Chains A and B, each alone.
Chain A
């Protein structure tokens, strides 16, 4: 197994006719992901064609779900329309909505979070995230489920779960594992924004319950306290080895490091505090980002 998605998950793409959405829909199809529908308001009835596949386009997510049985969505729509797209996915009863879009106003996400409170059916991942990959059995992990923008071929099917706020740092960890012959159950990028749908802790709980996940790499960064909360839970409940890395130890306080959420302010959210919380929870610390995979493998 895996978490969140499997090779059989039927995926729709919101914003499939935009250049960004189209490019990554093509890459997902090439990877062997079950891309069953696209949604672009006003283009319902048309088709998205790639590699001999004809993917039907719908005006609404509700229609797409009804006609194709899609249960997961990748959102590539521009920031001003992203909050609407997320809530449309939730309204259509999707199990998983992955918002790739970067640059959504915080106020929009505050409203989305509030509107989704108490919604136990739909899980939101992101926004501003690389998405989710469950590697497949084929060559270069072909045949897996790729929702988002991660490079598929760096993965390998296996038993390590990876969760991170950052895209390229996730790829770095995945590549370190794969080049050591170690595969992954599922890799999840939760995004670098201050308001997001799924936290480190949410993903850690899923990995803990997944029998196919034997070890976990958790990558955090400065800002907020999500890593500390995850560490606290791991200390009490996690049955599996966890290795961690925190990016941003050298970032000066008060400066926002690229990700809107990556900022140390008022002495809160420092790398030191997060590393201390990891240590207290028995999480293996990768002292440098080059040692993420080795740190975990030594624990297993």
Chain B
């Protein structure tokens, strides 16, 4: 059993977008309006008040949790604020929109808030947790529910595993009504709320399945008191991440992608079919294959340094790709040296060597560079590197190459 509650699993969307998807499948959500500029905030807040809500909630939309307890770099406290009037909502919005919010999940650099969600204030009676994800143990969808809403679910799972209710779904038939009833009962819902829970749980599962989501998470799912005194269940906060590989069949969801939330270097890398992830170390690596790339990071650490990135060039490694990769690597100021590790099974090592030499010349590389080449036509490849006139240190094995780059950088 694995929680996929990470920030970077597949494509993430904002809370307001997640709720738009959920609403399509019959999941109840509060009355709320996204605002991308200050000019949009007042009319949105006016509508909320006109609906009869005495309070207006202003929620920062970033792809990171812990928003309520976050702090803006300006010093303003809280990425989610409850206003008692339209004017107060607008004054909160002025302090949030366009400012950088730091939460426990954003890192110290924080994220710039570019959208606010203006929502009605709900009177919360109870909070629950509900999620749908893939259970890797049996390759089936799994619904998880807990009465401990609003908390860190991984902490609940560790301390009170008995408080997490799990229901495995047979993908051949989808969620059956009795399964939604079991979950609604496990949450302690009764009467009309029980039936509302069944409808909501079914809708959440259908959202996961129909949208090709990796995870749908409601935290909290809440019992709220409506203004007429009746109670119902609603998705008060929602997080959805989607399977990258399935986006080709969801053009509408693909449009929800917000490049502002992604690391610029990673976006640049993806343009060249490079899979790049920035890390905190000082030795950059350029490798073909995800497994070998991870192993190269590991061996750098084993040799006493730390990797500056994960970078998989895939099966190709053309001159254009290697040059692009070097440029991306070199834009990280922490990088002190580069390790290239290529196992050229099918591709010609000499072609790769030529690409590396060209990339070094084009980027005017000054940092130490160790290249380990192995595989098809490797002798010619090593000759090309040796005769290039470029300062390239060659490594004979992964261990040899890693030791050499760590030594070169520590000089």
CA distance A151 to B362 in the complex (A): 31
Contact of B243 among A105, A154, A225 (CB under 8 A): A105
Residue contact B246 to A106, C-beta cutoff 8 Å? yes
Enumerate chain B residues within 8 angstroms of A224, measured Cβ to Cβ: 2, 136
Cβ of A44 under 8 Å from chain B: no
Cβ-defined contact, B345 with A257, below 8 A: no
Find out whether the CB atom of A151 lies under 8 angstroms from the CB atom of B294: no
Total contacting residues, chain A, CB less than 8 A? 68
**Are A265 and B9 within 8 A (Cβ)?**
yes
Q: How far is the CA of A259 from the CA of B245 in the complex (A)?
A: 12
Using known A-B contacts A107-B243, A169-B291, A250-B297, determine if residue A288 contacts B310 with beta carbons closer than 8 Å. Answer: no
1/0 contact string of A102-133 vs chain B (CB within 8 Å): 01111111110111000000000000000000
Residue A11 interfacial (CB < 8 Å): no
With both beta carbons as reference points, the residue of chain B lying nearest to A193 in the complex is identified as: B245
A169 touches which one: B154, B292, B306 (CB < 8 A)?
B292
Interface string of B257-300 (1 = CB under 8 A from A): 00000000000000000010101000000011111111111111
Residues of B within 8 A of A271 (CB): 298
Give the residue among B287, B291, B299 with the most A Cβ atoms within 10 A: B291
Find out whether the CB atom of B292 lies under 8 angstroms from the CB atom of A168. yes
CB pair A263–B292 under 8 Å, yes or no, is no
Contact indicator per residue, chain B 203-235, by CB within 8 Å of chain A (1) or not (0): 000000100101000000000000000000000
Chain B residues in 8 Å Cβ range of A223? 2
- Chain A residues lying within 8 Å of B402, measured Cβ to Cβ, are 288
Given A166-B289, A225-B136, A258-B275, A106-B212 contact (CB < 8 Å) = yes
Given contacts A171-B343, A245-B295, A266 and B8 within 8 Å (CB-CB): no
A213–B342 CA distance with the chains assembled, in angstroms: 29
Bound-complex Cα distance A261 to B275 (A): 15
Cα-based distance from A115 to B277 in the complex (angstroms): 36
Of residues 123 through 182 on chain B, the ones whose CB sits less than 8 Å from some CB of chain A are 134, 136-137, 139-141, 154, 157, 170-172
**Cα distance, A175 to B300, chains bound together (Å):** 21
Per a CB cutoff under 8 Å, which of B3, B5, B141 touches A110? Answer: B141
B 297-323 to A, binary, CB cutoff 8 A, 1 in contact else 0: 111111000110010100100000000
User: Is B343 in contact with A266, judged by CB distance below 8 angstroms?
Assistant: no
- Tell whether, in the assembled complex, residue A172 and residue B8 are in contact, meaning their CB atoms are under 8 Å apart: no
Considering the chains assembled together, what is the distance between the CA atoms of A164 and B291 in angstroms?
9
**A106, A225, A251: the one within 8 Å of B137 (CB):** A225
- B102: which A residues are within 8 A, CB to CB? none
Residue of A nearest to B105 (CB): A254
A66 at interface by CB-CB < 8 Å: no
Kindly name the residue among A149, A153, A166 whose own CB sees the greatest number of chain B CB atoms within 10 A: A166
Alpha-carbon distance between A170 and B289 when the two chains are bound, in angstroms: 10
Set B275, B301, B307, B346: member contacting A27, Cβ < 8 A:
B346
Residues of A within 8 Å of B398, CB to CB, are 172, 288-290
Q: Do B293 and A258 have beta carbons less than 8 Å apart?
A: yes
Name the A residues within 8 Å of B297 (CB-CB). 248, 250-251
Q: How far is the CB of B396 from chain A (nearest CB, A)?
A: 10
Which residues of A lie under 8 Å from residue B288 when comparing CB positions? 168
**Chain A residues whose CB sits within 8 angstroms of the CB of B9 once the complex forms:** 254, 256, 263, 265
Residue of B nearest to A79 (CB): B245
Q: Are B399's CB and A256's CB within 8 A?
A: no
Is B39 located at the chain interface by the 8 A CB criterion? Answer: no
Q: Does A93 count as interface, using CB distance less than 8 angstroms?
A: no
Of B139, B141, B298, the residue contacting A109 (CB under 8 A) is B139
A98 within 8 Å of B by Cβ?
no
| B140/A171 in contact, CB under 8 A | no
B4 CB contacts on chain A under 8 angstroms: 263, 265
B-contacting residues, A23-56, CB 8 Å: 27
* Between-chain CB contacts (< 8 Å), 18 pairs: A105-B212, A110-B171, A115-B172, A154-B375, A167-B345, A169-B289, A171-B345, A247-B292, A249-B301, A250-B300, A251-B310, A262-B290, A265-B2, A265-B6, A287-B302, A288-B302, A288-B398, A289-B398
